[in-house]
Chains A and B, each alone.
Chain A
Amino acid sequence: MPLPIADRRISQLYRTLETTNGKIDDAQALNILAEVADRSGLSAAKANQTLGTMTRDQQLAAIKRGMTAGEKADLVKILDQGSVKLDASARSFFEAVLGRPVQPPPPPVVPADGNLRVTGDQSNGLTGTARPGDQIEAINLSASPTGRLHTDDTTVIATADADGRFNAAKLTGDQAIKEGDLIRMRARHADGTTGDWVTVRATGLGRDSRNAEVAIFRIGLTENAGLIDVSNINASRQISEPGAKLQFTNARTGAKTVVTLNAEGSFDPGVKLQGKAGDTFNVAATDGTNNTDFALTVGKLQVPGADGAGTVDLIKDPALHRDELDASGEPRFSTKRFTGALFKDGVSMEDPIQGQIGDCYFPSAVAAIAYQNPQALEDAIADNGDGTYTVTFKERDWRSGSGFRDVKITVDGDLYARSWGGPLYGSSRGDKGEKTMELWFPVLEKAYAQWKGSYNAIGDGGHSDVVMQELLGRTGTSMGVREGNEAAVFAQIKKSLDGKQPVSAGTYGETQAARYTNTGVYANHSYSVIGYRTADDGTQLVKLRNPWGESEPAGNGSNDGIFELDIKTFNKLYQNLMYTTP
């Protein structure tokens, strides 16, 4: 039934909308209200035209001047009884004409591209719009360079409401937003896809006091044809915030070069400095607001390679473990270049030999993988043919849905070496010569140290299942071992090894060290599990390898670190199994 509207012109307009299932948007509202304003001295057509040029306050004044009691009653009917839908903004306009309380402002128009918009300043956090239900992800690019964060390692800070709004969302902890910070954001839609990145510079938070943070340990300087190449040795992470300027001052010549970082906070290809091997560069940075005169430096970098042999370091090496620094913090060992074949006779589980570093979990995991899937290791390490090697690790990628993403780390063949020339850290079984040692394992370990930050970062313990995961891109897991669950443990070993999954086993810590002395098994140590069998008398046996490549219980043949334990002894001495799931 048509809405009974007294005014003929308004009734005609409204009836048309009723019969066409139309709605009253801003334009239709203005048509109707022009009929109301026509008694203010203007024709309806003229009123409509004139209203369109006015501010909202002027429109309201003109309409109210021309509004009769009957028209007012008609507008009340349209608002309260009408079947034609009103847009929120049109409803708000009508309410204002009638002098009724104005409804909340209309919801924002959600951009058709699905990308978020940030509105206002950040005095109360991050506010803006996206699609309703979108998760809003953000990372503070000004606070993340020296952390182990990629530029897409975001945090979910809000969920857009039914109107597509998010309000006062905050980053916290180390990521807390300060004035001038660059905040990178995007919307993650319900289907898992994401909108484009949006980067905003924070305002409304007072004085900008945070200068550009610099991950100086990621800057690689390499002499190349009379110039110094500048690179990010971990290109998947930032050097500093996007747009930051770094000034490199050659301490020998005084020459200054200013480099502007790209949108990823890294170096564009081809950045070069004037200098030579052995030169030291003072590095200063500015974010464009702080330290614009580069008066404050963030550190020094030396171009490697000025040793007596004239060897030029190809890629900056990961720093030594702190155990190998002297009392004044200086390294007690230097590097030697190893130039042997990457693979001499393929990958063997007997190749990895742990060096003088507490990373037993690493060679244990690598040998376990070599036992089950040597090809995976050969595929992970590439000889670039220029004295460098690129190792592809796998890193959990929670956001893409694909599980893992590749992390490529490039290192050279320079290894920390003892005075007699052999490697200080991981080496290969057999020949340790600079020109003859098989390189795949020490290169792999060096790349792992490079990835994690230094040999110090990997040399205070860890988990073999994590290493397996980081090399194979399969989920690593562990199972508790204790006296009493021998059957379950043996079954798991059998299942994993039969399924071609690598397995390692860890012993207890030194608080229970007395149980190990004279057993041939060592406390707080990780062993590769490389077999199982059931003896003729029914005893279940587990075959293990010590990543030292030696030291084992008596009665196990040559001292190659490979030995068998019956399952009861195994369960007494070991506390966990670590393996990957298919």
Chain B
Amino acid sequence: MAKPPEPLSEVLPLAVWVVDAEVVEVISSGPQPPEPPLRDKQRADATSRNLNAPAQKVKLKVKRVLKGEAVKELVVDKPVAGYALKAGNHGPFLIDKSKTILGRYGPDTYNFGKLEAAIKG
């Protein structure tokens, strides 16, 4: 994908939870989305080709809640997106009301400093 993260001001209002968490288990993975066809004169190593990794269902161990109800563990959906998760991945997760991870790059989308400042307003 390689687009920059969505503006936090557009994503944060959708987040029911903002948590500092770690992936403890990848419960399931969906099918690999088809690659978009190469455009005219495009080589296979082109960047920003809108390639995506499969959807996943993962279990998060929550270390800290920055926004939302207190919780220790969450099972959430990682949508088809330009990143993938594996056990041990960690960072700030923004999660919407359908328990889907927000942000184009999951825990790599926004850093804690930016999030904490935005949540404080």
B-chain residues with CB within 8 Å of residue A418 when the two chains form the complex: 7
Main secondary structure of the interface of B (DSSP, over half): loop
Q: How far is the CA of A420 from the CA of B9 in the complex (A)?
A: 11
Partner of B107, one of A420, A462, A518: A518
What total of chain A residues lie within 8 Å of the partner, measured CB to CB?
A: 41
Over the window 517-543 of chain A, the binary record of Cβ atoms lying under 8 Å from chain B Cβ atoms (1 yes, 0 no) is: 110101111100000000000000000
B36 lies within 8 A of A354 (CB): no
User: Known contacts A360-B47, A461-B50, A576-B45: does B111 contact A510 (CB below 8 Å)?
Assistant: no
User: Known contacts A478-B45, A509-B49: does B4 contact A518 (CB below 8 Å)?
Assistant: no
Residue of B nearest to A559 (CB): B111
Q: How far is the CA of A575 from the CA of B53 in the complex (A)?
A: 18
Asked if A240 is at the interface (CB within 8 A of a chain B CB), the reply is: no
Over the window 8-37 of chain B, the binary record of Cβ atoms lying under 8 Å from chain A Cβ atoms (1 yes, 0 no) is: 010000000000000000000000100110
Q: How far is the CA of A525 from the CA of B53 in the complex (A)?
A: 14
B2 lies within 8 A of A523 (CB): yes
Min distance, Cβ B110 to any Cβ of chain A, angstroms: 9
B3 lies within 8 A of A518 (CB): no
B82 lies within 8 A of A513 (CB): yes
Which chain B residues (35-80) contact chain A, with CB distance < 8 Å?
35-36, 39, 41-43, 45-53
What total of chain B residues lie within 8 Å of the partner, measured CB to CB?
A: 37
B-chain residues with CB within 8 Å of residue A576 when the two chains form the complex: 45
Partner of B32, one of A466, A511, A516: A511
B-chain residues with CB within 8 Å of residue A526 when the two chains form the complex: 2, 47-48
B-chain residues with CB within 8 Å of residue A507 when the two chains form the complex: 47
B108 lies within 8 A of A518 (CB): yes
Partner of B48, one of A358, A466, A550, A551: A358
Give the residue among A355, A420, A522 with the most B Cβ atoms within 10 A.
A522
Min distance, Cβ B32 to any Cβ of chain A, angstroms: 7
Q: How far is the CA of A466 from the CA of B46 in the complex (A)?
A: 10
Partner of A525, one of B2, B7, B39: B2
B83 lies within 8 A of A462 (CB): no
Residue of B nearest to A561 (CB): B4
A524 lies within 8 A of B108 (CB): no
Asked if A463 is at the interface (CB within 8 A of a chain B CB), the reply is: yes
Mind listing 16 A-B residue pairs with CB under 8 Å? A354-B4, A358-B48, A361-B46, A420-B9, A460-B50, A461-B50, A462-B46, A511-B53, A516-B83, A518-B90, A522-B108, A523-B1, A523-B82, A551-B4, A551-B5, A551-B108
Measuring CB to CB, which residues of chain A are less than 8 angstroms from any residue of chain B?
354-361, 364, 418, 420, 459-464, 466, 478, 506-507, 509-511, 513-514, 516-518, 520, 522-526, 548, 550-551, 559, 575-576
Give 10 new A-B contacts, CB below 8 A, not counting A460-B50, A461-B47, A517-B85. A358-B3, A358-B49, A461-B46, A506-B46, A510-B51, A517-B84, A523-B53, A526-B2, A526-B48, A551-B108
